[in-house]
Amino acid sequence: MGSSETFSVLVEVRLRPGIADPQGATIERALPALGFDGVRAVRSGKAFRLEVEADSAEAAAARAGELAHRLLANPVIEESTVTVLG
């Protein structure tokens, strides 16, 4: 076993493509009124910052991916991406 380190991990959860996103659509419709023209495909989601103890960045990413799949995202309508920040 290597020595365990703490990794800072970002998990982003968003709706799967094709799943209606009323929140994203509402934000998109509000933008022109604020002068932000030419912004499209707004999709809302959630972001989680975690500190994960693991032997390597890969192991930290794998663990975060697993917990994202089991808890942070509902795989029926959502998908997630994991980024190890350091």
Partner 1 sequence: MAPRIGVVVFPGSNCEHDVVSALDQAGARAELVWHGATDLSGFDGVVVPGGFAHGDYLRPGAIARFSPVMAAVGELARSGRPVLGICNGFQVLTEAGLLPGALQKNRGLRFICDTVEVEVVSSRSVLTRDVAPGTVLRLPINHFEGNYTCDDETLTRLVAEDRVVLRYVDNPNGSTGDIAGVCNEAGNVVGLMPHPERATEELLGSADGLPVLTSFVAASAASAAVTA
Residues forming the site for partner 1 (CB under 8 A): 19-20, 22-23, 26, 71-72, 74, 76-77
Q: With CA atoms as reference, report the closest residue to 64 among 46, 82, 47.
A: 82
State the DSSP code for 55. S
Nearer to partner 1, 16 or 32 (CB): 16
Kindly tell me which of 2 and 18 has the beta carbon lying closer to partner 1: 18
Q: Say how far residue 41 (Cα) sits from the centre of its chain.
A: 17
CB of 47 to partner 1, least distance (A): 13
The residue (of 13 and 59) whose beta carbon lies closer to partner 1 is 13
* Smallest gap from residue 76 Cβ to partner 1 (A): 4
Residues 6+ apart with CB under 8 A from 63: 52, 54
Least distance from C-beta 79 to partner 1, angstroms? 13
Name 86's Cβ contacts closer than 8 Å, sequence gap at least 6: 7, 8
